[in-house]
Every structure is written in structure tokens, then in C-alpha cells.
């Protein structure tokens, strides 16, 4: 009888590890529908050339910093986003965005329209026992998750293709549901931009947790932003001038998802895996069960996704699956407690 139970459990375990993810055309379209698209469900030849959603900002911009046009003292620009799915032998998801949000950012630096355009296998099958990253030492871990360039390349299983003919998106980790870029978590100094080590200064962001980078002036996130789901209509302040944000940006970020205490799509990673908010389907905050990339096997089907957390790397630090070492990164003072397998990872 005991031998029979063991055999059944082994069979179940093997079936679980080798199970396929939810990556049908219907699954892909359900995720694409969560994005604030400005197209009609068909990929466009150029996202820049399309008509988007108008955004008017009566303050906070000048003719130098406005990403659109100035009408008297009002900055006017358009949010443009088109996330679509296609069916061939493998379901593909295409992400086209000009990188501009649906709200008025607060930044003294210029913001410019981007031309993000890539296609990738949607939610590719991955195996709990096959790691993309498997560091065995602290230095190896740091070279992965404390490295701004580590997401320049995408795992071959994702079949990532870029259609953009302008700019470099080597530091792009994914795209938020509001079309804003999600960049690799690290600063140019290869440390946590908000809780840095090495004596570096924390980077400044606005109350939506975004700021432009110096290379392309693209507005982007490193941390999950509640503004992507509920764009503010009022003029937002800087993080340091916002109650809660100035004292603990990590806690502030999670607090903005209080109305979304369920499994909530907040973006798509450049490797085709879904990015979810900080809560699972039971309403529990994700504080464990993730690997070094912040990815987690989160259901019995075998789905792997990235989750927003209040600890580094906040959204995703590498393209997974990664392993679960006992040591932690040295580029942040806001480390996770530990890397632990979820119940579905065995």
C-alpha cells in the first residue's frame, strides 16, 4: 500500500514538473486585454505614427521637458499602446508602446516618446528543475541580480524579436499595463536605486515611482506603480514630497495596490512571462516563494510569473527561472528574507 502511494506521488510530481503553462491564444488575449491599448486589437506598422489617448498637463512641464507640444502653459501628449496576440505554431505576444503614461509625471528632466516594439513567445513553458540562472556563490549571484545589463539578452525559449529601429532597449525588463517601460532594477552603479549600498545616493522618482533615464529620456519604472492601474488625474508630487513615499518607498509602492488584493496583471516581461501585482489569488501578499529573479511557480498548472514585492528586486531582477540559494545580494539594503520555493515548485 505504501509503495503504491509513493508511486502515485512520484507520478503526480513528474506530471506537475513537466506540465504546460497556460499559453493558449485565449490566455494571451486575456492578458493583452489588461493593457490600456489604443489600437483595435491588430498590431500596427508603427506605434509612433498611430493616434493615441490625449493627456493634458496644466503644470509641471516646459517646452524643454514636455514629451509632446506646449499649448500656452499646458503640455499635451498622447499615450500609445498596442499589445496583441498571434497564433502560429507557438502563441506570440507583441508589445508596441511609445512609453508615455496616462497621467502627468512629475520630473524636472525631459521626457521623450519611445518606440518600443517587440514580440516574444507568450508565457513559455519552463521547468521547475531547469534554471536559467543557477549561481552557487555570492559573487555569482551579484553578477546576475546586481547587474544592469543582465536582461539585455533573453532566454532562447522566449524567441524574443525586436522590431524597434530606434534606441537601445538592453536594460528593458518589461512593459507595464500603462505602456511605461519597466527597466532592470539596478541603477547605473549596479546597486538598488532606492536602497543602495556602497554609499550611493538614492535616486529620485515621482509619486508614481517613475523617472526618465539619461540615455533616452524614457520615463520608466523600477518598482511596481499603482498609477499604472489607477492613473491620477491631479498633479502628482515628487516622492520625497509625498507622505509615505518619502519615508519608505517600498512600503508606499505596495500600499497603492490595496484595492487590487488578488492576482492582478500589471505588465509583461521581455521574456514573455506575465508580471503580477503584490497579491496572489487568495489575497495574500507575496513575501516568499520566489527565486532570485523574483519569479514564482504560482499554480498547479505550472505557470511561472514575476510578482511585485516590497523587497529587492521589486519586479524582476533577471529572466527566470532562477535558483534558491541561501545567500542574498550585496547591492541592496532591502534584501528579501530568503529565496524559497513555492508549494507548487516542489
How far apart are the two ends of the chain, measured CA to CA in Å? 23
Confidence of residue 321 (pLDDT cuts 50, 70, 90): very high
Cis peptide preceding 321, ω within 30 of 0: yes
Lowest mean pLDDT among 53-57, 118-122, 215-219, 302-306: 215-219
Helix (H, G, I), strand (E, B) or coil at 266: strand
Place of cell 492613473: 231
Helix (H, G, I), strand (E, B) or coil at 241: helix
The greatest distance separating any two alpha carbons of the chain, rounded to the nearest whole angstrom, comes to 82
- Tell me what the mean pLDDT of segment 101-121 comes to: 96
Per-residue model confidence as pLDDT tens digits over 177-214 = 999 999 999 999 999 999 999 999 999 999 999 999 98
Whether the per-residue pLDDT at 12 is higher than 60: the answer is: no
- Tell me what the mean pLDDT of segment 215-227 comes to: 96
Helix, strand, coil share (%) of the chain residues, nearest 5: 15, 20, 65
Whether the per-residue pLDDT at 113 is higher than 60: the answer is: yes
Domain segments of the chain: what residues? Answer: 25-307
Per-residue model confidence as pLDDT tens digits over 29-53 = 999 999 999 999 999 999 999 999 9
Closest to 276 in 3D by CA, of 302, 300, 294: 294
Cα(181)–Cα(186) distance, integer angstroms: 14
Helix (H, G, I), strand (E, B) or coil at 172: strand
pLDDT at position 8: 40
206 forms beta bridges with: 238
pLDDT at position 238: 97
Lowest mean pLDDT among 58-62, 68-72, 156-160, 163-167: 163-167
* Tally of residues, the chain: 346
Query: Backbone phi, then psi, for 136, in 5-degree steps?
Result: -115, -5
Closest to 48 in 3D by CA, of 130, 121, 129, 112: 112
Query: Backbone phi, then psi, for 246, in 5-degree steps?
Result: -70, -30
Cα(76)–Cα(104) distance, integer angstroms: 10
Whether the per-residue pLDDT at 346 is higher than 90: the answer is: no
pLDDT at position 214: 85
- Torsion of Cα atoms, 154 then 127 then 311 then 275, to 10°: 60
Cα(86)–Cα(284) distance, integer angstroms: 33
Query: Backbone phi, then psi, for 206, in 5-degree steps?
Result: -90, -175
pTM: 0.94
Helix (H, G, I), strand (E, B) or coil at 190: coil
pLDDT at position 158: 98
115 C-beta neighbours (distance < 10 Å), count: 21
Closest to 81 in 3D by CA, of 111, 108, 114: 114
Cα(327)–Cα(338) distance, integer angstroms: 8
Whether the per-residue pLDDT at 235 is higher than 90: the answer is: no
Amino acid at each position: 500500500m505504501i509503495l503504491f502511494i509513493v508511486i502515485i506521488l512520484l507520478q503526480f510530481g513528474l506530471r506537475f514538473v513537466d506540465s504546460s503553462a497556460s499559453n493558449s491564444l485565449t490566455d494571451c488575449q486575456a492578458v493583452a486585454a489588461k493593457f490600456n491599448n489604443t489600437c483595435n486589437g491588430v498590431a500596427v506598422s508603427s506605434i509612433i505614427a498611430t493616434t493615441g489617448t490625449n493627456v493634458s498637463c496644466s503644470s509641471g512641464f516646459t517646452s524643454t521637458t514636455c514629451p509632446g507640444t506646449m499649448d500656452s502653459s499646458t503640455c499635451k501628449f498622447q499615450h500609445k499602446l498596442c499589445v496583441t496576440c498571434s497564433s502560429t505554431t507557438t502563441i506570440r505576444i507583441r508589445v508596441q508602446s511609445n512609453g508615455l503614461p496616462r497621467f502627468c509625471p512629475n520630473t524636472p528632466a525631459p521626457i521623450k516618446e519611445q518606440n518600443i516594439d517587440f514580440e516574444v513567445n507568450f508565457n513559455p513553458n519552463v521547468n521547475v528543475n531547469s534554471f536559467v540562472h543557477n549561481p552557487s556563490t555570492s559573487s555569482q549571484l551579484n553578477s546576475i541580480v546586481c547587474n544592469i545589463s543582465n536582461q539585455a539578452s533573453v532566454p532562447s525559449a522566449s524567441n524574443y524579436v525586436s522590431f524597434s529601429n530606434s534606441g537601445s532597449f538592453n536594460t528593458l525588463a518589461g512593459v507595464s499595463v500603462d505602456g511605461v517601460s519597466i527597466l532592470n532594477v539596478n541603477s547605473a552603479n549596479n546597486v538598488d536605486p532606492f536602497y543602495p549600498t556602497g554609499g550611493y545616493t538614492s535616486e529620485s522618482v515621482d509619486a508614481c515611482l517613475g523617472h526618465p533615464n539619461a540615455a533616452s529620456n524614457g520615463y520608466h519604472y523600477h518598482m511596481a506603480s499603482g498609477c499604472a492601474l489607477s492613473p491620477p488625474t491631479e498633479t502628482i508630487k515628487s516622492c520625497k514630497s509625498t507622505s509615505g513615499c518619502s519615508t519608505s518607498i517600498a512600503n508606499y509602492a505596495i500600499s497603492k495596490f490595496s484595492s487590487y488584493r488578488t492576482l492582478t496583471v500589471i505588465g509583461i516581461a521581455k521574456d514573455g512571462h506575465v508580471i503580477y501585482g503584490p497579491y496572489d489569488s487568495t489575497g495574500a501578499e507575496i513575501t516568499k516563494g520566489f527565486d532570485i529573479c523574483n519569479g514564482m511557480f504560482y499554480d498547479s498548472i505550472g505557470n511561472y510569473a514575476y510578482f511585485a514585492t516590497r523587497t529587492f528586486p521589486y519586479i524582476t531582477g533577471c529572466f527566470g527561472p532562477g535558483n534558491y540559494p541561501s545567500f542574498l545580494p550585496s547591492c541592496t539594503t532591502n534584501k528579501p528574507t530568503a529565496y524559497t520555493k513555492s508549494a507548487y515548485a516542489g
